[in-house]
Amino acid sequence: MRELVVAAGLATVLMAASMASNASADSKTDATQNNDEFVKCYKEGEAKGIIRNNNISEADFIEMCKNSVFPAYLEAVKSNPTLTFEQFVASDNYEVPVQKPGDHPEEVSAEEVKSSKSGSPFTSFISAKKSYKMKAGDILICYGTGSSGSRLIGHAAMATSANYIIEMSGKPHNASGDSWRKNNAHVKSKATFFKEHTKGSDYVAVYRNNHPVYSDRASTYAYRHMYKEDNPTYHITSTIFQKSPSYCSKYVVLAYYWGATKKSWGDGARHGIIPPHQLPSYFSDSFVPSYKYKVTSY
């Protein structure tokens, strides 16, 4: 009897491994077949109060699960066979920005709105629309299918000034070989970045640290010591405090850790991968950034 139980357990493990392997080979088909599972996760997010006030529609959630979340889950389950899709989505905050008590993000455009001298009431109304005034040290976290890769859901970057952003964007489209991994950090204009990440229903969540001095130090350090001087190689690894290799969200966390203060680091595990959408939770106490803006266009 004992041998039968062991054999049955082994068969279950082998079947799970086989399913993960088959799913990896045809993830798009599997994602389409899992619509009910995606809807179930959406309802769970609503029940927990995380998905609220239509911060993500059911249709957008399902589309994101199909194109980004489920493929990333298939990669994650290779190293953690017991991980369920529900657990994976919950750990990523149901694909909506982390929002602490007191956060009241405004929906804005990244484009500077120029005032008009025409005096027309209609023109005055248009010019009154809010625009995002970027500041050095702002943490930019991208949401939507256009900002995700095969292993990480979303993307993270940091503002170095009112007009420029520093990031590790990973592999460029149509790149071949591994030469792109070297010196992967680069600076991009505000216009270019937000045009790339606000297409369709994609948007950028802007988090701002409550210590302006540390924000300036972090952005300056990133530019001088993690771009001009020692530009890191791109690779997703579980070593957190080593500056190279690095990737988008780890790069931002280390800019604050090494460039501003080590007190910014929270009580989380000191080994593992930092998912972009969970980035705010890696800061400690008063260093936890506030969710200030939801940038939906440029």
Same domain, yes or no: 111 and 169: yes
Domain limit, last residue, from 43, 73, 95: 95
Same domain, yes or no: 147 and 289: yes
Is residue 110 a part of any domain in this protein?
yes
Angle at 34 between CA 30 and CA 40, to 5 degrees: 160
Is residue 101 a part of any domain in this protein?
no
Summarize pLDDT for 20-74 with one digit per residue, the tens: 444 444 545 555 668 999 999 999 999 999 999 879 999 999 999 998 899 999 9
Same domain, yes or no: 234 and 122: yes
The strand pair at 185-189 and 203-208 is best described as unpaired
Domain limit, last residue, from 35, 63, 95: 95
Same domain, yes or no: 116 and 241: yes
Same domain, yes or no: 241 and 284: yes
Same domain, yes or no: 17 and 121: no
Q: How confident is the model at residue 146 (pLDDT cuts 50, 70, 90)?
A: confident
- Residue 139 has a pLDDT of 99
Same domain, yes or no: 52 and 124: no
Average pLDDT, the chain: 86
Summarize pLDDT for 73-100 with one digit per residue, the tens: 998 999 899 999 999 999 999 999 999 9
Is residue 58 a part of any domain in this protein?
yes
Nearest CA among 171, 142, 170, 153 for reference residue 68: 153
Same domain, yes or no: 90 and 189: no
CATH of the domain at 190: 3.90.1720
Q: Provide the residue range defining the domain that includes 55.
A: 2-95
**What is the reported pTM?**
0.84
Comparing 159-163, 199-203, 266-270, the range with the smallest average pLDDT is 266-270
Same domain, yes or no: 113 and 261: yes
Same domain, yes or no: 244 and 152: yes
- Residue 10 has a pLDDT of 42
Total number of domains constituting the chain: 2
Contact 232, 262 (CB under 8 A): no
Cis omega before residue 245 (within 30°)? yes
Q: Is the pLDDT of residue 116 over 60?
A: no
Comparing 82-96, 121-135, 152-166, 189-203, the range with the smallest average pLDDT is 121-135
Domain limit, last residue, from 71, 95, 119: 95
Contact 271, 240 (CB under 8 A): yes
Rounded mean pLDDT, 212-228: 97
- Residue 46 has a pLDDT of 97
Comparing 47-61, 220-234, 260-274, the range with the smallest average pLDDT is 260-274
Contact 295, 139 (CB under 8 A): no
Q: How confident is the model at residue 149 (pLDDT cuts 50, 70, 90)?
A: low
Query: pLDDT: is 292 or 128 the higher one?
Result: 292
Is residue 35 a part of any domain in this protein?
yes
- Residue 9 has a pLDDT of 46
Same domain, yes or no: 15 and 87: yes
Rounded mean pLDDT, 200-216: 95
Is residue 100 a part of any domain in this protein?
no
Same domain, yes or no: 71 and 124: no
In the chain, % of residues over pLDDT 70: 81
